[in-house]
């Protein structure tokens, strides 16, 4: 087991954990958090791929590294938007449930 495989398995495990949280944890804020776990796991896989491509005097392939940096910033802006949507939903309805409204009745306006 070398070091890169270790971090590759870590990235895969984080994606799995985040996916489980996304499905099984009911609170939407926790789902957003879980989604960030998926994202950081994918980024870590990119990090492993970048490190594998080292050579020519560079410690890693800078292209995936640059993608990860933009990715982290974009993931943050998406998280901020999701949180803002959630807070507005809470301000409007007083709840944040994602459960389907009871059948036959439209959700209360």
Residues 79-108 that bind other proteins (CB under 8 A): 79-81, 83-88, 90-91, 95-99
State in angstroms the smallest separation of the CB of 86 from other proteins.
7
Do residues 95 and 26 lie in contact, with contact meaning Cβ atoms separated by under 8 Å? no
**Residue among 77, 104, 106, 107 that touches other proteins (CB under 8 A):** 77
In the complex with other proteins, the residue whose CB is nearer, 100 or 104, is 100
State in angstroms the smallest separation of the CB of 82 from other proteins.
10
The number of CA neighbours under 13 Å toward the Cβ of 71 is 17
Report the alpha-carbon distance of residue 39 to residue 55 in Å, rounded. Answer: 27
Terminal-to-terminal C-alpha distance of the chain: 57
């Amino acid at each position: 087991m070398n070091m890169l495989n270790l971090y590759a398995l870590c990235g895969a495990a984080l994606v799995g954990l985040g996916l489980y949280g996304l499905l099984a944890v009911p609170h939407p804020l926790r789902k957003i958090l879980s989604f960030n776990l998926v994202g950081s796991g994918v980024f870590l896989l990119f990090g492993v791929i970048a490190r594998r491509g080292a050579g020519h005097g560079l410690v890693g392939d800078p292209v995936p590294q640059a993608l990860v940096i933009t990715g982290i910033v974009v993931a943050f802006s998406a998280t901020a938007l999701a949180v803002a949507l959630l807070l507005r939903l809470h301000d409007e309805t007083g709840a944040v449930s994602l459960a389907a409204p009871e059948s036959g009745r439209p959700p209360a306006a």
